[in-house]
Structure 1
Amino acid sequence: MSYWFIIVMAVSTLLVLYLGWRLINPLQMARSRKITLWALLALLLFGHRLTWMLHRTNRYEMVACDSIDWVGFTFLGFVSILIVFMLARDIPSLFGAVASGLKRLFIRRSKRPYFIGPNHARRRFLLNASNGLFLAAALPMTGFGVYNARRKPSVLKNDFFVLDLPAGLDGFTIAQISDTHIGPTIRAGWARKVVDAVNSLAPDLIVHTGDMVDGAVDGLKTDVMPFGGLSAPHGVWFCTGNHEYYSGVFEWLSEARRLGFRPLVNEHALIDTGNGRLLLAGVTDLRAGRIVPGHASSPSKAMAGAPVHDVSVLLAHQPDSVYAASEAGFDIQLSGHTHGGQYFPYNYVIHLFQTFVRGAYMHDGTQLYVNMGTGYWGPPMRIGTVPEITLHTLRRA
């Protein structure tokens, strides 16, 4: 926690300094007003950390925390868009300034009287004008992003074509939700909306591929309660994500069972429909072993001792589990974790860090599907992605 605190505070400090320097300082207004804007900026970026000192033990602290979270996370989302626009302008200018400085060092400057220095008034005007344009773009983008993240999740349909699939499993449906992140800005009302949407699909099987929550059981027990209403003929299943390990994994595994989920922790279960046999397995998050040594993710362990089956499906929070899943012989892997990048421009940037971002892939004989996330993490925003419920259907190839 101490390392995370240091990182968060360092990033917040850099944001305050950069935005103050390039956004507030160039404004033509009294110094007292600039100081007020600097203080407001610092309050919005540092004040969010007040929730770490409150424990939501009573109604007043709950209301205070929720209000701070909504303001803080929304402002952070707005700033994260604005700062990309500003950096796109400032980084080339920085390189230009460095090149100009080097040029002055190595090239003798003319002393002729017609040499003209920089026009500071013009520079300030252009800087303020561009800042105004960036603000005018970032504000409506933030508003749309909040609306898009909070709306009813979209149902995306995906077909898995499987060789030699028995006729009895042709048309078998699996509803997948992932990354619901019940926590600071996602509460019971939203969870209930997701449950109603999933149940209306009448799937044969329901799975949750991790990151159900962001917080401890004591604080979120009421908000996850609607998930107990999920219902399917062949059960509701769950695998752990990285955020379960940040929030008390053993307590959440117990709570998941109480809600009617069947967690799969590096293990499998055989689902015999009477017309075909589906092997459903689940692994822990890829980084789980660093937090709980006995929970190191292992698709091979999940497959070990598997009975004869017609098709195998692995629940694995992180898409990169597919490398070990294909070696273990799984036909299908269902994942989440990436959020598809969640919002612009990070839905493009994420491709630099993740091989599998969203939708369907094939790796060495294993079909992979990456759900963009039913909820969101951090800023309550989605731009360029949608909150997703996936309805998978098994088909004979």
Structure 2
Amino acid sequence: MPTTKAIRMSTAVHRSSPRHSALPGRVRRALWRILPLIGGLHAYIGWRLLPALDLGTAGLTLAVGGLVLSTVLVPLGLLARFLAVRQALADRLSWLGGLAMGLFSSVLVLTVLRDIAGLVADAPSLARPTAIAVLGLASLFTLVGYVNARRVAGVVRVDVPLAGLPKDLEGFTIVQLSDIHVGPTIKGDYVQAIVDRVNQLDADLVAITGDVVDGSVEQLRAHTAPLGSLRSRHGSYIVTGNHEYYSGATAWMREFERIGLHGLHNSHVVISHRGARFVLAGVTDFSAGAFDTAQASDPVAALAGSPPELRRILLAHQPRSASAAEAAGFDLQLSGHTHGGQFWPWNFFVPLQQPFTAGLHRLGRLTVYTSRGTGYWGPPKRFGAPSEITVLRLVSA
């Protein structure tokens, strides 16, 4: 889940520049605003850790050089794909920037915690050991997080109780994918591995709840192509996430339809299964109206004309669509967006923006399931929030 700053920068790029153009003026200005902040946080790390490490002149020079390099790589990891360079080079820069961002994030958090602990217990003799511990733990978190991020998402099975569920829908399975983020570091082989795992699950239906891509159709169509081979009894359905709007949502939804996915834009279909029926609806991303007012998310419109007596399931990228979904009369909402925080401690900050971080929750009559996501965004790092391919089984409440 990107930060607000990253979202604004990415949005500015999408609106202002074609593929591989020079950075537009608004993005350059945003970059110059964010660089001092990133530089200041790196300077804080250096100020708090380097004196305690007693590295000597050569070691101190290398450490300062590393901090400067990280200061450059962190924003570069977000913006590399927009630079006027070859795609392969842009991807390598994104890899380096993502790894730097993940390591920097953990070092920063642990340095802050070290300083807070130092206020409580002033122990000068522990300065060097705790500084070493910060670097060691941050490196461990980053390494473990990398392994977790790059392996194929595990299968998570969840029973979803719904009141009034018809007997013939008992045990109906929906496989949910979310937040794959095909882009600079996630390519076709990663997507194919996900598809292969899903196709072993004998699903009744596949639901993809947005943020599939980080890049244009031209750049990534070959890497998203495996999604067209997803297999289930009733097909694969998809809704937009916020990242589709950074990458050209209209073009992407045409491409997804072309490869066989069914897009739900504030609309619904009626699924018939063994003599029973239910409504499957989808809304555009919660933020879509900021990009195109005609695409504003509308759960009421998504239900228009649907049989009122049937159970209603909504695909909505962001959990914060839940209030409107509950008011519209939905029984179940499937969402993603949060990544479950992706790596510690950002899971504690998700509730500042979203009502749910991960898992199964209730809001009035509405049941909401929030996926931790099937890929990752930014740093190739998952720590304390593993990715998932979710098998949701409908059961009677």
Decide which moves more: 43-52 or 157-166: 43-52
1:20 counterpart SS class: helix
Unaligned runs of 5+ in 2: 1-11, 13-26
Task: Using structure 1 for the length normalisation, give the TM-score.
Answer: 0.86
Give, as a single letter, the amino acid of the residue that structure 2 aligns with 1:336.
Answer: G
Residue in structure 2 matched with residue 178 of structure 1 by the alignment: 178
Larger Rg: 1
Letter matched to residue 146 of structure 1? Y
Q: Which residue number in structure 1 is paired with residue 113 of structure 2?
A: 88
Alpha carbons of 1:7 and 1:366: their partners in 2 closer, same or farther (altered >3 Å)? Answer: farther
In the alignment, the residues of structure 2 paired with residue 277 and residue 57 of structure 1 have an alpha-carbon distance, to the nearest angstrom, of 51
Aligned to 1:154: 154
Cα distance, 1:175 vs structure 2: 0.6
Mapping 1:356-395, distance limit 5 Å? 356-395=356-395
Per-residue Cα deviation, 1:111-162 (whole angstroms, up to 9, x for no partner) = xxxxxxxxxxx94x64333110111212122111111111221111122223
Report if the CA contact (8 A) 2:73-2:100 is conserved: no
- Could you tell me whether the CA contact under 8 Å between 1:56 and 1:62 is conserved in 2? no
How many residues are matched?
370
Which segment is superposed worse, 197-206 or 36-45? 36-45
Match of 1:191 in 2: 191
Deviates more, 1:37-46 or 1:287-296: 37-46
Name the SS of the counterpart of 1:47 in structure 2: helix
- Check if 1:263 corresponds to 2:263: yes
Partner of 1:219: 219
Alignment correspondent of 1:63? 88
Between the aligned partners of 2:30 and 2:189, the Cα distance in structure 1 is 30
> Deviation at 1:298?
1.0
Classify 1:131/1:92 alpha carbon distance in 2 versus 1 (closer, same or farther; 3 Å).
closer
Aligned to 2:343: 343
Counterpart code for 2:99: T
Percent identity of the aligned residues?
Answer: 39
C-alpha distance after superposition, 1:323-364 (max 9, x if no partner):
010110001100001111111122234345432111111111
Deviates more, 1:300-309 or 1:313-322: 300-309
Aligned residue for 2:203, secondary structure, equals coil
Report the aligned-residue RMSD: 2.4
How far apart in 1 are the matches of 2:138 and 2:60?
21
The answer to whether the 8 A contact 2:153-2:387 is kept is yes
| Secondary structure of the structure 2 residue equivalent to 1:149 | helix
1:277·1:309 contact (CA, 8 Å) conserved in 2? no
Q: Which runs of 5+ in 1 are unaligned?
A: 98-121
User: How far is the alpha carbon of 1:276 from its aligned partner?
Assistant: 1.1
Cα distance in 2, alignment partners of residues 54 and 138 from structure 1: 27
| Distance 1:4-1:216 versus aligned 2 partners, 3 A rule | farther
- 1:129-168 equivalence runs, <5 A: 129-168=129-168
Residue number in structure 2 paired with 1:72:
97
Contact 1:199/1:230, CA 8 A, preserved across alignment: yes
SS class of match (1:390): strand
Decide which of 72, 78, 86 is 1:46's aligned counterpart.
72
Conserved? CA contact 1:45–1:76, under 8 Å: no
Structure 2 residue 233 is matched with structure 1 residue 233: yes
Match of 1:12 in 2: 38
**Separation in 2, partners of 1:30, 1:207:** 56
SS at match of 2:376: coil
SS at match of 2:300: helix
Counterpart residue number, 2:248: 248
The CA deviation string for residues 5-33 of structure 1, in whole angstroms up to 9 with x for no partner, is: 34542432123221222233554345465
The 2-side partners of 1:7 and 1:317 are apart by: 30
Contact 2:81 2:91 in 1 (8 A): no
The 8 Å contact of residues 166 and 275 in structure 1, kept in 2 or not, is answered as no
Task: Return closer, same or farther for 1:246/1:6 CA change in 2, 3 Å cut-off.
Answer: farther
**Pairing 1:273-312 to 2, within 5 Å after superposition:** 273-312=273-312
Secondary structure in 1 aligned to 2:210? coil
Deviations 1:258-313 (A, max 9, x none): 12111111111111235111111111111111111111111111112213552110
**Partner SS, residue 237 of structure 1:** strand
- Alpha-carbon distance change, 374 to 217 in structure 1, aligned in 2, over 3 angstroms: same
